[in-house]
Structure 1
Amino acid sequence: MAVRVTSAPAATIVSRGRYSSWLATVDHKRIGILYILTSLVFFVAGGIVALLMRSQLARPNEHVFTRDTYDQMFTMHGTTMVFLVVVPVFAGLANFLVPLMIGARDMAFPRLNALSYWFYLLGGIVLYASWFSGGGAARAGWYSYPPLSEHAFEPGKGQDLWILAIHLTTISSILGAINFIVTIHNMRTRGMSWMRLPLFVWTIEIYAILILIALAELAGAMTLLLLDRQAGTHFFPPKQGGNAVLYQHLFWFFGHPEVYIMVLPAMGIISEVIPVFSRKPIFGYKAIAFSTVAIGFYSMLVWAHHMFSVGMPNALNIFFMLSSVTIAVPTGIKIFNWIATTWRGNVILDTPMLFALGAVGVFTIGGLSGIFLAAFPFDWQVTDTYFVVA
């Protein structure tokens, strides 16, 4: 019997150009670079807006911009720096470094990784497109407290687009956080136990967990605000029986973990840089690792220290004062361990080490001012002043 042999069709090879290949990439290094470059673009945009704001504040009674335009600028500046610069640039570094540090070939979900980047980029585009909407960009501040962000005081479409942009960047961060957690838990190379993880990876693990908890809650708050504006609900307007302080609780339950979402990866970088340029192993590895976990835990117990002036019961004021002071303990552990690492080490003051030591000094000064602000009688006197901003 004759047998007819047919060859399988050759696989179609899709060749992409040097630049177009980046648009469809699922490689963790390329996605990390895209995050970093995009965040730098938004950093420049946010910096330009900041310079315009300072031109208005350069002298008393300047009239460079109208009040509405100035409000739009500080809203866009704050939103840009928090949601489009600081958090995404660390997501980019983590995308690039975490698989390499734990011996994985890539992130656990490469396509989900790419999708999270495109949600981030789309969120940034929507935010800046809101400048051209009816009524201009949002002007209720990056925290968008009601009733200022309610339809009665902000009737333009800019506030709705701001909410949409926050939703998009939130989805991006949550998808990325899921990817980091699965990658770190399931794709470590053989023999890499938790107590052998690089300290930067420890901080990314807690960073991702905080994103999952805090940003999911922020998405809920933004949805309630959008329903107030578009569906006639009254969750927050006091005049209709809503509770504006409820929004503050929802926002700051996100807002304070967000502080450590931004700070923890930087602490991880410092923990990697200092031992290298001190020519010594890190002092107190376990203490630094567990202090990272403690910071993540306590960051979810201190949100209302932003709200001491709203008239909470004294029992709550005391609780949040004590929890705010307590969170200084694990951060202090890190600082003392970094200093101990340099002790009697062969310290090389190259640029990375100078940045790391400078960051430790600045963080210490800021942390000391935070201890003052944790005392609610003092906080009552300086709330909404430049002492808090500085």
Structure 2
Amino acid sequence: MTQTLTAPQSSSPASEPSKTPWWEFFTFSVDHKVIGIQYLVTSFTFYLIGGALASAVRVELATPDPDLVDPAFYNSLFTMHGTVMIFLWIVPAVTGGFGNYLVPLMIGARDMAFPRLNAIAFWLTIPAGLLLMSSFFVGPASTGWTAYPPLSILTDEHVGQAIWILSILLVGTSSILAAVNFIVTIWSMRMPEMDLFSMPLFCWAMMATSVLALLATPVLAGAMVLLGFDLLIGTNFFNPTGGGDPVVYQHLFWFYSHPAVYVMILPVFGIISEVLPPHSRKPIFGYKAIAYSSMMICALGLFVWAHHMFTSGTPDWLRVFFMVATLLVAVPTGIKVFSWVATLWGGKLRLESPLLFAMGFISTFLIGGLSGVMLGSAPIDIHVHDTYFVVAHFHYVLFGGSVFGIYAGLYHWFPKMTGRMLNEFWGKVHFVLTFIGMHLTFGPMHILGLQGMPRRVAQYDPQFAPINVICTIGAFVLAISTIPFLINAIYSWFKGDQAPDNPWDALTLEWTTASPPIPHNWVGDPVLATGPYDYGEDYRLARQQAIADSQPAV
């Protein structure tokens, strides 16, 4: 990694915090920090809604018979749960939330390249979410978050399905606008002393995420438009009764929706790479390998979509191609995991909430990654297709991966965002409950899947009931785990201990300004005194001296 020890050219970062008025968070602000917090709070609200829907699903599945809701409404529950969690929680939180707040601060920029476009991207998510929730009043979509035709175009819930399509189009437009903004910002607005290999790994992850979103999201948008035409005006793009091909929709949908998994997880990879070094007091292991592996995942992620379609009449030779491509994705992902473990190895670990959630991420995501390798193998995938084994894998990747990573980032950067420290005791309670609830809920689902229990059904064979009871108990633990975090975050935001500018003694640029940062981030030019992960006494002293030299004469 390129090492830079620069003599600052102007005044030092601000040391006095600047409190943003509360009402500004409800306005059309163009401040990237306000927009980042708007994304995080809004997406977390939808997380609570999606979690309530998931709890209802698990209560229904506690017994083999439909005793909470009828099977038709159950279909709507899991459809809306999946849609909310993916499109209104994880994607906005990791890209819009952390990306907006951190990227300009990490590269020494005053704001994003296109501030107004940034605000528009956020405010598109509000009507998308409200529209989706409003569909409960007219009959919500009930065709799964994949909306496969012909079911989605022959459904009785035409209005609800049309609202669902419009909501996805709004979220997709927001994602495209944000991707353009991130690419331009990272590529053209880095401070002059910062080359690509002095850039924090979170920025590499956001670059890869944005390229992937920019290439894949328009395909989903096209599929949604054509699906809407079939539903509302009677065209036959995907309707087999009129000569359409529903498998074409599957290709279009998964061309976006499998890269969407990487859109949800790549920024989290970046978060983990930022959390581990300061909390283990060690340089990141294999900086360039981690950076290049993000770009490898971006490239390979565009060639794996049809492994979701091994049972859709895919020719054998094409199955082999997508199977090999899917297995190859494990290589750059494995590079990251080994690098993170090597970073922790021999470090002076500070077992605080950010590090606990980061280590919890590594362990749970590893399980999800290994089951993903299994599902990438066509013979195994055909055997467990549409069973609870797939549900278990998906949630180990996206809850054990993305959500654990989001929590690690929230605990790590909460002092920077608010100027207050979260309560560490309740942070650890939150971690323990989340970790136990996660494994208790989704771990047994691997067994259910291997035994043949199909997903997306409200009624099932009584032989699966005991394991489903365990999963439902785990879901309640998982729901309860959110309570200490909510109380901790709300109380600490207003009454928590005052945070120093750099409570973790971290080296990336966002920690060189006030907590919370002033409107334009720094008083003068930011100081790039060391590389972002150069932990060690010599570099720490050099950094302190460089900052001291930048102080204006009194």
- Does the Cα contact within 8 Å between 1:148 and 1:154 map onto a contact in 2? no
Provide the alpha-carbon RMSD of the alignment. 1.3
Equivalent-residue separation in structure 2 for 1:380 and 1:92 (angstroms): 37
Equivalent position amino acid for 2:79 in 1? T
- Does the Cα contact within 8 Å between 2:141 and 2:157 map onto a contact in 1? no
1:204 aligns with 2:206: yes
Equivalent position amino acid for 2:36 in 1? G
Which protein has greater RCO, CA pairs closer than 8 Å, 6+ apart? 2
Q: CA deviation at 1:22?
A: 3.5
Q: CA deviation at 1:86?
A: 0.2
Alignment of 1:136-155 (within 5 A): 136-150=139-153, 152-155=154-157
1:94 aligns with 2:99: yes
SS in 2 for 1:143: coil
Which of the numbers 105, 123, 126 marks the counterpart of 1:121? Answer: 126
Equivalent-residue separation in structure 2 for 1:213 and 1:40 (angstroms): 27
1:116-171 deviations in Å (ceiling 9; x for gaps): 111011110111111112xx111111110001100x33353000010000011111
Equivalent position amino acid for 1:105 in 2? R
Equivalent position amino acid for 1:119 in 2? L
Which of the numbers 99, 102, 109 marks the counterpart of 1:104? Answer: 109
Q: CA deviation at 1:253?
A: 0.6
Moved over 3 A (4+): none
Equivalent-residue separation in structure 1 for 2:21 and 2:202 (angstroms): 34
- Does the Cα contact within 8 Å between 1:22 and 1:30 map onto a contact in 2? no
Which of the numbers 244, 247, 250 marks the counterpart of 2:246? Answer: 244
Which of the numbers 245, 256, 259 marks the counterpart of 1:257? Answer: 259
Please list every run of 5 or more consecutive structure 1 residues that lacks an aligned counterpart in the other structure.
1-15
Equivalent position amino acid for 1:57 in 2? L
Equivalent-residue separation in structure 1 for 2:133 and 2:32 (angstroms): 27
Which of the numbers 300, 303, 308 marks the counterpart of 2:302? Answer: 300
Equivalent-residue separation in structure 2 for 1:255 and 1:55 (angstroms): 28
Equivalent position amino acid for 1:58 in 2? A
Partner residue in 1 for 2:81: 77
- Does the Cα contact within 8 Å between 2:204 and 2:270 map onto a contact in 1? yes
Equivalent position amino acid for 1:149 in 2? S
Partner residue in 2 for 1:331: 333
Partner residue in 1 for 2:39: 35
1:64 aligns with 2:62: no
- Alpha carbons of 1:323 and 1:129: their partners in 2 closer, same or farther (altered >3 Å)? same
Q: CA deviation at 1:18?
A: 4.8
- Does the Cα contact within 8 Å between 2:25 and 2:34 map onto a contact in 1? no
1:324-365 deviations in Å (ceiling 9; x for gaps): 111100000011111111222222222111111111111111
Partner residue in 2 for 1:269: 271
Partner residue in 2 for 1:228: 230
Equivalent-residue separation in structure 2 for 1:298 and 1:53 (angstroms): 34
TM-score for both structures, normalised by structure 1: 0.93
Equivalent-residue separation in structure 2 for 1:334 and 1:17 (angstroms): 40
Q: CA deviation at 1:296?
A: 0.7
Q: CA deviation at 1:17?
A: 7.8
- Alpha carbons of 1:155 and 1:270: their partners in 2 closer, same or farther (altered >3 Å)? closer
Alignment of 1:168-187 (within 5 A): 168-187=170-189
- Does the Cα contact within 8 Å between 2:141 and 2:160 map onto a contact in 1? yes
SS in 2 for 1:363: helix
- Does the Cα contact within 8 Å between 1:273 and 1:356 map onto a contact in 2? yes
1:357 aligns with 2:359: yes
Which stretch shows the higher mean deviation, 232-241 or 35-44? 232-241
1:80-114 deviations in Å (ceiling 9; x for gaps): 00000000011111111110000000011111111
Equivalent-residue separation in structure 1 for 2:71 and 2:352 (angstroms): 46
1:219 aligns with 2:221: yes
